[in-house]
Structure 1
């Protein structure tokens, strides 16, 4: 870098790391809330959440280790901003793995929710997600090898760019698929229209946030000669991790919303980590005419259950 800008390099890195740590605190609170509210969730889901939290912690360590090298070890030598501390490639790798776990989580949900064409829809998502983590690990390897941002950008710009582009593409594909599934469930259960509309909003917000972050980071990487792109990249991992916990923790609120709207015994809403199950219960009462006092009135209860699965 011919000209060193303290604000767009050191300042951006500091703000990115602080925002990343703040979002990590939000994730910790979400994990705590999840553990208190959903103790009956499957063990596998709890292990998955624990793995996300551990990776998030490792990401924090790698980010601040990189900043320690830039801010403390290389203090007073702004020309060293071009060097790549070992913590930065590690943060890129952890971001890639976290992204793969989150994409796999939503791909698994889509697979369970679809009754037709499930492989046709989920296989492209999984393949693109694997390619994305592959490019992330390749980026980390090349950063460790080159040890210079200028050299890495001159020779391997397309690798980092393609990794971010694949991440955005998978986000868009997952969001569109989930919204299509939810819209279909909405038309099948008009009485739970408000709840399903809330789920659609959750899906759109989560998908739009992660997509916007990766696209903006990629644009900054391509058109700017500073480290703003890396500051945004610090935040991407946190957004993906929080998106999973937000989807899981919203189940209690949706259940209360459903219960407050349906108190007539018509429809009931059961939420689980795998999705929302809507039951349509209809009771039919048949009374025999009592021509004689000894005849007893009979009541026949017929329960009809219709199930639709949508993501929660």
Structure 2
């Protein structure tokens, strides 16, 4: 490594930002349990697992920084060494990524009316990314030095990041298409669905861009650990995207749209307003000067997809 700024500086900044995002994960987890105490056990368990993995990831990041900057600060060549804690952060990032991508794959599955042909590619990419990262972590421990790891397994680590980015792009594209289709089939849900579409792009672009930038730094910058500082953030962004998606249901519930629904992204499909309500709504608007909104709340079981 040629400079402290490209090694320890990059790791320090990555660790500081990762810790900040970890605080957001904790806040969103607590907010979730406060807002949705009646959610099913699977969702609550998922939130607890994500929170636990995120805390473990943060602890490993700071253990790595301590190893680099305190214990071995006098060893100039130690920047090339790969502590086991670094390898474990790679694996935990992959697990958080996998959980988040499977969560969105589950939503795609329901929005597409249980279409496995649409959902399967997302799951395959997510599993491939997890496998690449787990093998990369094991090989990092075996190789011990970044130079050795780059020489033999640069392609493997690169493939893992590429698969992760590909899964994000596919998830974003499928949710966009499915939500647009739901918008065409629905009545008076335009505002909420537009918000869902915008939110989907925001989540998908943030995680995907960070992953791509980390991949570019890994491939191009052989003499720095900037890629690793960025990689510290990836797991945090995925955890936050999952929790923010769950907590956004509260915002959609309070939407001022004519028709409200419970967590549109979790619904198996969006059903149009029944004809008798549409007729009543239209006739009242035609005969009176006062607009009357028909509010219909529909609650769906997330697991079964039934009303």
TM-score of the aligned structures, taking structure 2 as reference length: 0.87
CA distance in 2, matches of 1:230, 1:178: 30
Which of 67, 70, 74 aligns to 1:76? It is 74
Tell me the equivalent position of 1:61: 59
- Report the alpha carbon displacement of residue 274 of structure 1 after superposing the two structures with TM: 2.3
CA contact (8 A) 2:7 2:226 kept: yes
Residues 1:274 and 2:271 are matched in the alignment: no
CA distance in 2, matches of 1:175, 1:273: 12
Tell me the equivalent position of 2:44: 46
CA contact (8 A) 2:18 2:232 kept: yes
- Report the alpha carbon displacement of residue 189 of structure 1 after superposing the two structures with TM: 2.2
Which of 192, 198, 201 aligns to 2:195? It is 198
Q: CA RMSD in A?
A: 2.3
Tell me the equivalent position of 1:297: none
CA contact (8 A) 1:93 1:137 kept: yes
**Residue ranges of structure 1 left out of the alignment (5+ in a row):** 286-302
- Report the alpha carbon displacement of residue 308 of structure 1 after superposing the two structures with TM: 12
CA distance in 1, matches of 2:261, 2:250: 11
Matches within 5 A, 1:225-304: 225-257=223-255, 260-262=256-258, 267-271=259-263, 274-275=266-267, 277=270, 280-281=273-274, 282-283=276-277
CA contact (8 A) 2:11 2:228 kept: yes
CA distance in 2, matches of 1:38, 1:206: 21
CA distance in 2, matches of 1:5, 1:148: 17
TM-score of the aligned structures, taking structure 1 as reference length: 0.86
Cα deviations by residue, 1:243-291 (Å, 9 ceiling, x for unpaired): 011111111111111xx332xxxx3423378238556143478xxxxxx
- Report the alpha carbon displacement of residue 190 of structure 1 after superposing the two structures with TM: 4.6
**Residue ranges of structure 2 left out of the alignment (5+ in a row):** 281-293, 303-307
CA distance in 2, matches of 1:271, 1:120: 24
Number of positions where the alignment pairs a residue of Structure 1 with one of Structure 2: 283
CA 1:123–1:308 in 2, change beyond 3 Å: closer, same or farther?
farther
Greater relative contact order: 1 or 2 (C-alpha under 8 angstroms, separation 6 or more)? 2
CA distance in 1, matches of 2:257, 2:117: 36
Larger strand percent: 1
CA contact (8 A) 1:100 1:133 kept: yes
CA contact (8 A) 2:252 2:260 kept: no
CA distance in 2, matches of 1:80, 1:270: 53
CA distance in 2, matches of 1:256, 1:94: 35
CA distance in 1, matches of 2:178, 2:265: 16
Tell me the equivalent position of 1:209: 206
Which runs of at least 4 in structure 1 moved beyond 2 Å after TM superposition? 267-279, 281-285
- Report the alpha carbon displacement of residue 69 of structure 1 after superposing the two structures with TM: 0.9
- Report the alpha carbon displacement of residue 71 of structure 1 after superposing the two structures with TM: 0.7
1:269 is paired with a residue whose SS is coil
Tell me the equivalent position of 2:104: 106
Which of 142, 146, 156 aligns to 1:149? It is 146
CA contact (8 A) 1:41 1:272 kept: no
Tell me the equivalent position of 1:218: 215
CA contact (8 A) 1:268 1:278 kept: no
